[in-house]
Amino acid sequence: MSSVDAVVTGAGGFIGGHLVGSLLAEGKSVRGIDVKPLDEWHQVHPDATSVQGDVSLLDTARSAVDGAAVVYNLAADMGGMGFIENNKAACMLSVLTSTHVLLAAKDAGVERYFYSSSACVYAAEHQTSPDVVALREEDAYPAMPEDGYGWEKLFSERMARHFLEDYGVQTRVARYHNVYGPEGTWTGGREKAPAAICRKIATAAITGEHSIDIWGDGLQTRTFMYIDDCVHGTRTITDGDDPNPVNLGSDELVTINEMVDIVEKIAGITVARNHDLTAPQGVRGRSSDNTEMIRRYGWAPSITLTDGLEHTYRWVYDEVKKSLAG
């Protein structure tokens, strides 16, 4: 293939679509690849070269990164807590993608390789209370990450490190903490909490049935990073000088119930809450310690949850309305 400034694997996904748009906006040439057919991509940018292909296959990975200066590897089989708790084997199989894209990048002589890891690499013992102490990068070891998905991410982080040590590949790694925003998955089982709550409340607002289900007691805590902060942070880390994994997430800790409060206020309604204590809940509390991000780059995610949810809810509301009109 011809040379290109950047290749984005997982370009048909939520974060990948926004990242492609950001790169194009700065005049970069971009090749995006995703295993999904193009009509299932979250966004298809006409100024990018968009390819349907499975980069878990080495030959496809080699073709995808050929001629690339920078590779952003976002491709993975993943979703919200309901998906990753019930699809551990499928999540582990993403190791084929992580391995083959990194190997192809090495052989192609790319200048930079970015790997999107996850806060799921952190041991559950650090996340047992809603009043959780924010997770520091060193808390990933001794290792006992989220079963399935977290193990694959931690292994692939180590592989990136050793490809730098042994082969000189300039690898960069970010541990994403709960990314949300418009153009994301909002239904179907792979959606994360912000989109799911926006969908449920939008449906209540449209139908007049003001009752929603909430997974767990709603007291579990998380931080949620708006997509614009995620893209900015991803590019900042990729262009930076430090190869060690770093948290990329908001440090604005909220309970799930508090997030419902925010979306209710945006929607202008209140809903009855039915707490399902049998549903997947994940860890009890998780927050990002951004000390290292600020030290290395003088920046950290800062878009408030209220502002981000305002944009997200409006987008999800329109999608729900179209779906119900069906």
Give me the active site residues, please: 149
CA atoms within 13 A on the CB side of 203: 13
Dist CA 137 CA 279 (whole Å):
29
Dist CA 289 CA 251 (whole Å):
7
CA distances from 87 to 16, 90, 248 (A): 22, 5, 25
* SS3 call for 33: strand
Dist CA 198 CA 122 (whole Å):
27
* H helix intervals, the chain: 14-25, 58-65, 81-86, 88-92, 94-108, 149-167, 193-207, 227-239, 256-267, 291-297, 305-325
Cβ neighbors of 33 (< 8 A, separation 6 or more) are 7, 8, 9, 11, 50, 51, 52, 53, 55, 60, 64, 75
Dist CA 273 CA 192 (whole Å):
18
Query: What are the DSSP calls for 78-106, one per residue?
Result: --SHHHHHH-HHHHHTHHHHHHHHHHHHH
Amino acid symbol at 294 = I
Q: Which of 127, 132, 87, 266 is nearest to 194 (CA)?
A: 266
Residue found by looking up tokens 């925003």 in the block? 181
